[in-house]
Structure 1
Amino acid sequence: MQLRRTSLLAATFVALALASPAAPAAPAAPATGTPRAGGTAPGGWQQVGDDAKSGVSGLALTGRAVAGGGVEALVVHDNKKPGERRISRVTFHPSAPKATTVTPLVWDGAEPKDLEAIEAVPGTDGEFMALASRGLVYRLHVDGGTARVLDLAPLPAIPEGADFESFALGTSAHGRTVAVWADRGAGADRPATVFAAPFSFNEYGEAEFGSVRKAEFRAAYPKGDVRHVSDISLTKSGRIMVSSASDAGDDGPFASAVSEAGRVSLNDSGTRATLRLAARRSAPDRFDGRKIEAVECVPGANGTALLGTDDENLGGYLKSAPVCGG
C-alpha cells in the first residue's frame, strides 16, 4: 500500500514530530460567526470549536501547506438539523496557536445527518468522500468556500443497527484504491466490525465497491462504554491505525487511544482486498480527557498524525502526535 501526499506537507509534519438520499437542497449557509480557534489546552491540544456543534467528527488533510509552517484540513461536524454547519476548513499552526483559524464552508446539495468521517480521494484535486453514520457516502468537490455534493451512495454490506464513524482510502503500488471502514461497536458486548473492499468510480462518477472482507476488532483501551473504532487511517504500507473513544456524557470525562489494528492490501489487479487484523497488538497510545473521533496519518512524516476530538459540550480540539507507523 502507498498513500500519496505532497512532500511539502510531509515535511511540515516531520517538523511537528520532531517538535513534539434526497433531492439536492439549496446550499446551506455556514453558521454565523467564527468558532473559537487557537486556544490551547494541556497536552498540546488547540481548540477549534467551543460547543457541541463545532466538534471534529472527522478530518482530511487537503495537501496544501500554509504559510508559516501550518497545514490545511477539512473537518466535518456531526450536526443533524437543517442549516447547521456540516463542514469547515481549518488552518492548523502547531507552533503558533493564535494563527490557527476555522472557516465554515457552504454545503451545496442534499444535507447529510451526522457526518462522521471525511477522506481525500487519491489522484484528484479537491475531491473528498464524507461518511454519515448510517452508511451514506457523499462525494464532494471543495472549491473556495463551498463543498458541493457530486454524488451519494450507500456503503455495501451494511449490517442491521450499524453505526459508522470511520472511512479511509489507500492506494496500492499498482495505483488501485482500497476503502476501509468500520461499524464502531459498543462496549463489551459488541466489537467493531472492520470492512475492506476495492474502491473505484464508474463512468458516471458513481462510487463502486468490490467484494467486501470483514473482521472484528476490540479496543484494548479505553474500557467501559467504548466505541471500539471511532476513526481509521491507513499508512503508506497498509497498516490500519484506529482511534477508540469513550465518554460518560456530554461533559465527559472522556478517554481515547490510538492503536494499530492490522493490515490491508490489494492483489495486483485491484480486484480483491486482504484484511488481516492482528491477534496481538502493541500497547495503544492513550489520550485521557479527550474523545478522539478523527485520526489522519501522514506518509513520510515520521509516523506523525493529526488528531481531532469531538468533546461534546467542551468543543473540538486538534493536535499532532507520533502515533502512526511507516
Structure 2
Amino acid sequence: MIKKVFGAALAGAALLIPAVSDTATAGPAPSGIPASGIPSAESPGRSKAASRDEEWRRVGDGITAGISGLAAAGRHGGTADALAVRDNKKPGENRLVAVWYSPDAKPRAHEVTWRGEQPVDLEAIDAVPGRDGTYVAVSSSGTAYLIQREIQGEAQEETQGEGDTVRVLRTTRLPGVSADDNYEGFALIAVQGTIAAVWADRGQDDRPGKLTAAEWNPRTHTFGQRDSKEFRVPYPTRDVRHISDVKVAASGALTVSSASDPGDDGPYDSALYDAGRVLVGRDGDVRLSLPAKPHRLATFPGHKIEALLCLPRSREGILGTDDENDGGSLTAAALCRP
C-alpha cells in the first residue's frame, strides 16, 4: 500500500492561541457568515436566514447517504478535498466517503473502505494536525478511532474508490462518557506543541449539550485533564439538538452547529453559533471559555446540519447535512476564523 501524501497543510497546524489567564474571555463574535451567496446577519444581535435550495449541492440520495462529519484532506485550486463520515449502522453500509467539493460544480464522491470490523454510528471526524492522512473519527457512543487513510496508486476521484481505504491504528473511549451522552462533534487543534481536542455531547431539548476540551496525545491516543461546560441554544426551539458538530478555528474560536430533528422526514432547521473559544496555556493546560449566551451567526431552514469543515488558512468552510430520507448535501460558508 502507498500512503497518500496530501497536497495542503491540514487545518489546525502551526497555530497560535492566547495562553490561559484568569481574565481570559471569549473574543468578539463576527456579525455574520458571508460567502457563496450566503447572506450575513443584519446586526450583531440578529441572524438572517442563510439557505436557499440552489446553494446546496447534493452528495448522496437516501437515508444511508447523509453527511455526519467532515475533515479537510487537501485543496487544489478552487476544489476542496474532504473525508466524510456517515452514521450508518448495518453491516455493509458505507461508513466513509471521499468528497471533492467546488461551489461551482456538483460534488464528486466515492466510498472509502473501512478495513476490519465496521464501526456503528460515526458522527464526527477531524484531521490530526501535522500527520498527513491521519484522522480521529468518533461514534455517537463515544468511541474514538485513530485511523490512517491509504490509497493504492494515484489518488484520483476517477478511481471510484478502488484501493482507497482506512485502517484503525488505535481505539479508545472518550473520557467521562455517561449513559445519556450522544456525541456528534469532535475537533483537533495544535498550538505550541500541544494538540487540544474538543468534543460535544449533543444534548436534547431541555437537556443542554456539553462541550469538553482536553490535551490529546497522538502517539498514545489518550486524553489529559478535561474541562467541560454546558451549552444551550435558543434556536431551533423544537426537537433540538443543541450541538450537531463543532470546529475550532486557528484563533481558538469555537463554531457550533445546532439542529432540529423531528424524524426521518423532517422538516429540519439548523443554525450556526459562535460558541466561545478553546484556550491552551504555556504549560499545555486546555480550557474552554464560553459566553453566557451564544451568538447566532446564521440560520439554515430545511436542512439538518451535522458537519462543519474549515479549509486550511482560510475563512472558507463547508457545511454538510444529514437530511435522513432526503440524503446529504453540501454548501460553502465563511464560518472559519484563521
- Shorter-normalised TM-score: what interval? 0.7 to 0.9
Report the Cα distance in structure 2 between the residues aligned to 1:138 and 1:299, rounded to whole angstroms.
23
What does residue 60 of structure 2 align with? 49
Higher mean displacement: 177-186 or 276-285: 276-285
State the shift of 1:102 in Å: 1.0
Does the 8 Å contact 1:78/1:115 carry over to 2? yes
Q: 1:19 deviation in Å?
A: 4.5
Aligned to 2:83: 74
Q: Which runs of 5+ in 2 are unaligned?
A: 1-10, 15-33, 38-51, 152-163
Q: How does 1:246-325 map to 2 (within 5 A)?
A: 246-270=260-284, 272-301=285-314, 303-325=315-337
Higher helix share: 1
- From 244, 257, 278, the equivalent of 1:243 is 257
Is residue 242 of structure 2 the alignment partner of residue 228 of structure 1? yes
C-alpha displacement at 1:201, in angstroms? Answer: 2.9
Q: Which residue of 1 aligns with 2:169?
A: 150
Q: Is the 8 A contact 2:66 2:327 kept in 1?
A: yes
Q: Aligned with 1:284: secondary structure?
A: strand
Partner Cα distance (2:185, 2:226) in 1: 16
The aligned counterpart of 1:123 is 130
Kindly indicate whether residue 147 of structure 2 is the aligned counterpart of residue 140 of structure 1.
yes
Picking from 169, 172, 177, the partner of 2:195 is: 177
Distance 1:258 1:265 in 2: 21
**TM-score (ref. length: structure 2):** 0.80
Tell me the distance in 2 between the aligned counterparts of 1:274 and 1:176. 13
Does 2:211 match 1:194? yes
1:165 equivalent in structure 2: 184
Q: Which one-letter code corresponds to 2:55 in the other structure?
A: G
Q: Which residue type is aligned with residue 320 of structure 1?
A: A
Q: Could you tell me which amino acid in structure 2 is paired with residue 53 of structure 1?
A: T
Q: What secondary structure is seen at the aligned counterpart in 1 of 2:276?
A: strand
Runs of 4+ displaced beyond 6 Å = none
Q: Matched residues in 2 for 1:311 and 1:137: separation?
A: 24
Q: Deviations over 1:206-236 (max 9, x none)?
A: 3010001100000121111110000000010
Alpha-carbon contact 2:272-2:296 (below 8 Å) kept: no
Q: Take 2:242 and 2:334, find their aligned partners in 1: how far apart are those partners?
A: 21
* 19 and 283 in structure 1: CA distance in 2 versus 1, 3 angstrom threshold: closer
Question: Any gaps of 5 or more consecutive residues in structure 1?
Answer: 6-16, 21-40
One-letter code of the match for 1:199? Answer: W
User: Given the alignment, which residue of 72, 87, 105 partners 2:96?
Assistant: 87
CA contact (8 A) 2:214 2:224 kept: yes
- Residue 101 of structure 1: which of 108, 116, 130 is its match? 108
Q: Which secondary structure state, in structure 1, belongs to the residue aligned with residue 320 of structure 2?
A: strand
* Greater relative CO (CA pairs within 8 A, separation 6+): 2
Distance change in 2, residues 1:258/1:19 (3 Å): closer
Alpha-carbon distance in structure 2 between the residues aligned to 1:289 and 1:116: 20
Deviates more, 1:244-253 or 1:53-62: 244-253
The 1-side partners of 2:257 and 2:235 are apart by 10
Call closer, same or farther: CA 1:273–1:247 in 2, change over 3 Å.
same
State the AA in 2 paired with 1:314: D
Give the % identical residues. Answer: 43
Root mean square deviation of aligned Cα:
1.8
The letter of the residue matching 1:305 is G
How far, CA to CA, are the matches of 2:35 and 2:255 in structure 1? Answer: 21
- 1:29 is aligned to none
Aligned partner of 1:32 in structure 2 is: none
